[in-house]
């Protein structure tokens, strides 16, 4: 890390960065310190304002609920209502009708005490009816009957069902009055207080914490926050839902029967703070415009051309002399780029000349290696013809001359670089026939070529040295008839050539010695045919494994593989 910093200090860019920091850091420190104090003050005021508003909501709600509950207590002591509830037996007369009218009017008056009271009602036990401010006398439903039973037996006074809240009060005389509140009216009232619509709301049962109201009134955020609230903590909390943070408050009293959960997005609550942050970012950007512009100018005029030249030199180090620089910079750098391009062109030309000379040398060496095989084979054949002529076997001499003519006729017309497997097998067959003439019944042979490989191309005279090795180091040294099998088969994406004999004379020590001989840099005095093939294979194909030799029982196999090709022989031999 220290080395990186030290290196940066020596560059133009490093010096420019240091200059910017000297100017920008003191200004930024002063501004950040002032902004920190100001933002802390704004945050505290924002939180206090939000808390005061929530307390205000709470005071209004609690006062309204207490007034409504007190009105139920007063209603229980009203003479007209109590008289009707006690004396109504279902029979209408003039006096009872007058009592009914008075009680019904009083219920309507109590209902109008608050905008979100939906109904005021009194239980009439004698007839199983309810006197309602909204509906007059109605039969007691199962719901109303169940609430009365719970109130009488368990003393519960708060009930809820769907969109409605119910409060019941029981007097000392046993009369029960009730009040029905529509939950949506509470929401309308809260929205009236929250004119800026900063908050969202939902109601929960103060005892069971069950959400109050129909499910259709709650969105996904309401449900997620409800499931995340720790009800044992009564303090304002901060909750996270889907990466959004919310400030959550609970207001209400146990006597009211329900709590109101208010929440708002923290980003909205701290919007002023975020404005200050953006102001700081904008000011910082303004402070950096001039040095940034200067840096960009320096980058365009100096740093970028230098980097281009550095990348070009890296390519040269990797041996890529085709990489050229486009002359699209300032005049001075374009001159340097032009000199670089001329230099790489000269180097590329020089390398090409060296490669061409090296290729010519390799081709001359390759031909020299190939020419080493032909005289050796011709010498053996002529010597065999000499012996046949001495024995006056004219027919054999004629066959020998015919086979030699066929062999060298093929050799004369084939390409120096490659030959089809079909023509190579003609070489092999002719060579084996010539040797069969020489050794008679002691030598038998078999040539196997997998179908479809006849047109594949290989280097010429690769198999003859393998056959010569099988004859001279195998068959000639055994006392029994010997069979040589030449096989050409596919091996995956390669072609395998093998020569197998059953002479059973070669030993593992001799195989080891052969490996040492064919892998020498200089041609050995013996076994130069295999050495020749080994070197030709490795020159022709990079990382070639060369010749393989395996002794299994009485069979000795020498083989090699080459990549499969499908180039047809252009010469009709």
For residue range 71-84, what is the model confidence (pLDDT) as tens digits? 888 888 788 888 88
Q: Token pair 């594949």 is at which residue?
A: 456
> How far is C-alpha 243 from the geometric centre of its chain's CA atoms?
23
- pTM for this entry: 0.44
Judged against a pLDDT cut of 90, whether residue 446 lies above it is answered with yes
**pLDDT on residue 292:** 67
The strand pair at 482-491 and 443-449 is best described as parallel
Q: Which of 322, 211, 202, 220 is nearest to 263 (CA)?
A: 202
Judged against a pLDDT cut of 70, whether residue 417 lies above it is answered with no
* Alpha carbons 376 and 378: distance in angstroms, whole number: 5
Q: Which of 361, 379, 541, 560 is nearest to 462 (CA)?
A: 560
CATH number of this structure's domain 418-563: 3.30.565.10
**pLDDT on residue 423:** 85
Stretch 147-159: mean pLDDT, rounded? 90
497, 488 Cβ separation under 8 angstroms? yes
Kindly report, residue by residue over 503-540, the tens digit of the pLDDT: 999 998 989 988 888 888 777 766 677 888 888 888 88
* Alpha carbons 158 and 204: distance in angstroms, whole number: 12
Six token digits for residue 273: 């703070």
Stretch 371-393: mean pLDDT, rounded? 68
Judged against a pLDDT cut of 90, whether residue 362 lies above it is answered with no
**pLDDT on residue 449:** 93
Six token digits for residue 292: 């940034």
Kindly report, residue by residue over 541-555, the tens digit of the pLDDT: 888 889 999 999 999
Kindly report, residue by residue over 108-143, the tens digit of the pLDDT: 988 888 877 889 999 998 888 999 999 999 999 999
Judged against a pLDDT cut of 70, whether residue 30 lies above it is answered with yes
- % of the chain at pLDDT higher than 70: 78
Average model confidence (pLDDT) across the chain: 80
Give the count of beta carbons closer than 10 Å to the beta carbon of residue 332: 10
Confidence of residue 368 (pLDDT cuts 50, 70, 90): very low
**pLDDT on residue 35:** 67
Question: CA torsion sign, 517 to 518 to 521 to 524?
Answer: positive
Domain ranges within the chain, ordered by starting residue: 1-76+271-320, 198-269, 418-563
Helices 373-390 and 394-413 cross at an angle (nearest 10°) of 160
* Alpha carbons 397 and 382: distance in angstroms, whole number: 10
377, 434 Cβ separation under 8 angstroms? no
Q: Which of 469, 400, 397, 455 is nearest to 425 (CA)?
A: 455
3-state secondary structure of 240: strand
Q: Which residues pair with 556 in a beta bridge?
A: 501, 551
Q: Which residues pair with 180 in a beta bridge?
A: 119, 166
Q: Which of 42, 67, 50, 63 is nearest to 194 (CA)?
A: 50
* Alpha carbons 231 and 237: distance in angstroms, whole number: 11
Q: Token pair 């031999």 is at which residue?
A: 573
CATH number of this structure's domain 198-269: 3.40.1840
Q: Token pair 């050409």 is at which residue?
A: 488
Judged against a pLDDT cut of 80, whether residue 480 lies above it is answered with yes
**pLDDT on residue 486:** 96
> How far is C-alpha 509 from the geometric centre of its chain's CA atoms?
57
């Amino acid at each position: 890390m220290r080395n990186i910093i030290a290196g940066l200090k020596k560059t133009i860019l490093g010096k420019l960065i240091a200059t910017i920091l000297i100017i920008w850091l003191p200004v930024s420190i002063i501004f950040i310190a002032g902004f920190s104090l100001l933002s802390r003050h704004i945050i505290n005021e924002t939180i206090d304002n939000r808390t005061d508003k929530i307390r205000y909501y709470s005071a209004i709600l609690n006062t309204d609920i207490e007034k409504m509950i007190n009105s139920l207590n007063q209603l229980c002591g009203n003479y007209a209502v109590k008289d009707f509830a006690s004396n109504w037996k279902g029979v209408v007369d003039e006096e009872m009708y007058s009592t009914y009218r008075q009680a019904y009017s009083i219920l309507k008056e109590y209902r109008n005490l608050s905008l979100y009271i939906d109904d005021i009602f009194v239980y009439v036990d004698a007839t199983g009816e309810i006197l309602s401010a909204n509906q007059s006398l109605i039969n007691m439903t199962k719901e109303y009957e169940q609430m009365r039973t719970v109130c009488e037996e368990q003393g519960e006074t708060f009930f809820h069902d769907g969109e409605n809240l119910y409060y019941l009060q029981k007097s000392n005389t046993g009369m029960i009055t009730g009040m029905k509140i529509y939950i949506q009216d509470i929401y309308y009232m809260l929205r009236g207080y929250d004119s800026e619509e900063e908050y969202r709301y939902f109601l929960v049962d103060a005892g069971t914490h069950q959400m109050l109201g129909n499910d259709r009134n709650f969105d996904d955020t309401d449900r997620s926050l409800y499931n995340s609230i720790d009800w044992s903590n009564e303090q304002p909390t901060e909750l996270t839902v889907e990466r959004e943070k919310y400030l959550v408050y609970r207001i209400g009293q146990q006597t009211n029967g329900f709590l109101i959960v208010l929440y708002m997005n923290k980003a909205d609550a701290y919007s002023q703070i975020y404005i200050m942050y953006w102001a700081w970012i904008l000011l910082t950007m303004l402070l950096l415009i001039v040095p940034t512009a200067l840096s960009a100018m320096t980058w365009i005029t100096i740093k970028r051309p230098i980097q281009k030249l550095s990348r070009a030199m890296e390519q040269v180090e990797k041996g890529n002399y085709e990489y050229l620089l486009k002359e699209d910079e300032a005049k001075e750098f374009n001159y340097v780029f032009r000199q670089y391009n001329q230099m790489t062109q000269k180097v590329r030309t020089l390398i090409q000349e060296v490669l061409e000379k090296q290729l010519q040398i390799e081709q001359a060496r390759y031909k020299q290696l190939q020419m080493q095989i032909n005289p050796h084979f011709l010498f053996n054949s002529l010597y065999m013809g000499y012996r046949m002529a001495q024995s006056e076997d004219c027919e054999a001499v004629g066959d020998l001359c015919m086979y030699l003519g066929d062999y060298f006729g093929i050799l004369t017309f084939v390409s120096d670089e490659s030959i089809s497997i079909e023509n190579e097998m003609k070489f092999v067959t002719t060579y084996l026939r010539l040797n069969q003439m020489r050794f008679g019944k002691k030598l038998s042979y078999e040539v196997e070529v997998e179908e479809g490989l006849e047109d594949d191309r290989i280097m010429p005279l690769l198999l003859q040295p393998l056959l010569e090795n099988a004859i001279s180091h195998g068959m000639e040294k055994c006392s029994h008839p010997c069979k040589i099998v030449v096989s050409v088969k596919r091996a995956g994406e390669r072609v395998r050539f093998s020569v197998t004999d059953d002479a059973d004379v070669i030993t593992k020590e001799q195989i080891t010695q052969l490996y040492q001989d064919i892998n020498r840099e200089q041609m050995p005095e013996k076994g130069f045919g295999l050495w020749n093939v080994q070197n030709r294979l490795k020159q022709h194909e990079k990382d070639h494994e060369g010749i393989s030799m395996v002794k299994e029982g009485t069979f000795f196999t020498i083989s090699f593989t080459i990549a499969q090709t499908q180039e047809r022989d252009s010469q009709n031999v």
